[in-house]
Amino acid sequence: MGLWGTAHALATNKPKHLTDAEKIDCYADNTGWTVAAGGNGNPNAQRETLVSIGDLAGTSATTGLREATATSFRFIVGTTDNTDLTANDANAEVQVEITWDEAVTVTGIPQVVIANNDASGGGYGNLTLSYTATGSSANSKRFIKTSAGIGNTDVLTLGGTNVSLNGGTLKDTASGAVNSSVVLSGLSAVAVTVAS
């Protein structure tokens, strides 16, 4: 079995020797699997190619990887009372990050729904998070909800859902193909329990 893949719509394509954290930054372009240039301190440095596979990202919806595939998602846990997912009131900030195997261009404000089981009995329901450029990168996009109502012991779950375009677009940057919806059900759901 190879240490990387080139199959269309396969979330496990990224080079296997990378840690989970390194895989977040790794994505395909038309030179191959790339990561941010390391060690030189220049944020504008050209990306480094780990595995050279010409035209990996493709130039259309029928070439290369064809279209961007979501490869992971996670909750972003901050360090303040409102961002550390411990707030038991309506002032919590909930943020998630979705990562693709290719660069993705966003227009408008797509949204994603986080399920809340309301285990606290506080009457808190599901949360709709909106795209934010803050903290987003070429292949990882962040979604945020401020003043979110969550209660202690509530379980927040992201998985088995679609990103709602909400009048915006998500495009495969290499091919320019617009994804009418981005299915996340191929990935294992991630959940976080709100604790005091």
Q: Is the pLDDT of residue 114 over 50?
A: yes
- What pLDDT was estimated at residue 96? 93
Could you read off the pLDDT of 32-90 as tens digits, one per residue? 888 888 766 677 788 888 888 888 888 877 888 777 888 888 999 988 888 888 866 77
Contacting residues for 191 by C-beta, under 8 A, at least 6 apart: 155, 156, 157, 158, 159
Domain 70-193 in CATH 2.60.40? The answer is yes
- Give CA–CA dist 127/52, Å, rounded: 41
- Give CA–CA dist 179/57, Å, rounded: 15
Could you read off the pLDDT of 166-196 as tens digits, one per residue? 888 888 888 877 765 565 656 777 888 888 6
